[in-house]
Structure 1
Amino acid sequence: MIYRPARGDTKLLSFSRELVRDSLVALRNSESIARAQRIRDELVNAEPARGATEPAEA
């Protein structure tokens, strides 16, 4: 038996492809945002520079 897609199957497949395509575009565009957030998180969690917490000597 040979499978022939019905009209509903064709629409569902088309919608699925469009959804995957849009999702991949969103992922590609979000990499710069994710990279910036990772850098921000690293800076926030970084230890203070040596001597940065000590009072300055006169």
Structure 2
Amino acid sequence: MLRNAQLVREEPHGRHRYYHLEPGPLVEVEDWLHPFEHYWRTRTRTRSLYELLDEESS
């Protein structure tokens, strides 16, 4: 699945296969997640985890 998604590169050596991470496609994911990361970092700095979980459960 990871190979089909081009997230890893396969390197066969005899009976063994070595897989190497291909970071290129992950850049798109990182770009998409960046606003969420900023949101959660800002939010968790100002409140404790307990307060956040309490708020989510209400």
Same fold (TM over 0.5): no
Of the two, which has the highest radius of gyration? 1
Higher helix residue share: 1
In terms of fraction of residues, the more strand-rich structure is: 2
TM-score, normalised to structure 1, is 0.40
